[in-house]
Amino acid sequence: MLSITNASLMRGTTAVFAGLNLQLHEPRIGLIGDNGAGKSSLFRMACGLDAPQSGTVTVQGLPAYRINTQRPNMVGMMFQNPDDQIVFPTVQEELALALGLSRREAQEKARAFLSGRGLQDWAERAISSLSHGQRQHVCWLAILLSSPALILLDEPFASLDLPGQALLHADMARVPQHIIVSTHVLEHLSSFDRVIWLDKGQVRADGDPDTVCRLYRADVAARAARGPTRHLSHTLPT
């Protein structure tokens, strides 16, 4: 599904990846690691927002940077910050965009979809009147409606309350598409096929959720035990 071969990526003056290799085919993959490890950068390469300076990133064999123009519904990305994703002023207009139909038909479908989820009151709501977590939920609804083959969720649980997290967790288990999720809420990954721990742009561990999350937790605990200023990975000697 997603193939990253010898990819090197600079963002500003930061070398985020230097020869990253990952072949990602499992239906459910989790991405974990400290702040700044490169999770969002990996997603940006996968959906074609950033192209690696060297190496290749392909989705089903197509270079990721060509996806938006050639296969617009192949990859759907839910951004870490919902305000980077939402473009329309109301919920129903934003969801209508995801459907890609004529305005009237799309808005009717968007309203029906919201009703089906008990959210009929949200249709006319101004996006600006929603809380951060509610805006994050709108982004997930837009992904559900557009139904891309590969779904990238960048810290989708970050602002959700517990019922919202449970709903997203259940939705993710239900949809047939391939999903890659970055998260700091490791419990949500326990039933996943594979988890990858990124550390300073490199794969530190890759395997089943229990093993990889246990290794990451142990490393975090060891760093915390070394002292209050040593828990951040970027302060550690390389």
Can you give the binding site for Mg ion, defined by CB under 5 A?
Answer: 39-40, 80
Site for ligand ATP, rule CB under 6 A: 11-12, 14, 16, 33, 35-41, 80
Q: Which is nearer to ligand ATP, 14 or 68 (CB)?
A: 14
Q: Which is nearer to ligand ATP, 43 or 140 (CB)?
A: 43
Q: Which is nearer to ligand ATP, 226 or 234 (CB)?
A: 234
Residue 35 binding target from Mg ion, ligand ATP, none, CB below 5 to 8 Å by type: ligand ATP
Q: Which is nearer to ligand ATP, 14 or 131 (CB)?
A: 14
Shortest distance in whole angstroms from residue 40 CB to ligand ATP: 3
Reference 55, options 66, 45, 41; nearest CA is 45
Shortest distance in whole angstroms from residue 9 CB to ligand ATP: 8
Shortest distance in whole angstroms from residue 120 CB to Mg ion: 33
Determine the residue with CB nearest ligand ATP. Answer: 12
Shortest distance in whole angstroms from residue 196 CB to Mg ion: 14
Shortest distance in whole angstroms from residue 167 CB to ligand ATP: 22
**3-state secondary structure string, the chain?**
CEEEEEEEEEECCEEEEEEEEEEECCCEEEEECCCCCCHHHHHHHHCCCCCCCEEEEEECCEEHHHHHHHCCCCEEEECCCHHHCCCCCEHHHHHHHHHCCCHHHHHHHHHHHHHHCCCHHHCCCEHHHCCHHHHHHHHHHHHHHHCCCEEEEECCCCCCCHHHHHHHHHHHHHCCCEEEEECCCHHHHCCCCEEEEEECCEEEEEECHHHHHHHHHHHHHHHHHCCCCCCCHHHCCC
Q: Which is nearer to Mg ion, 80 or 107 (CB)?
A: 80
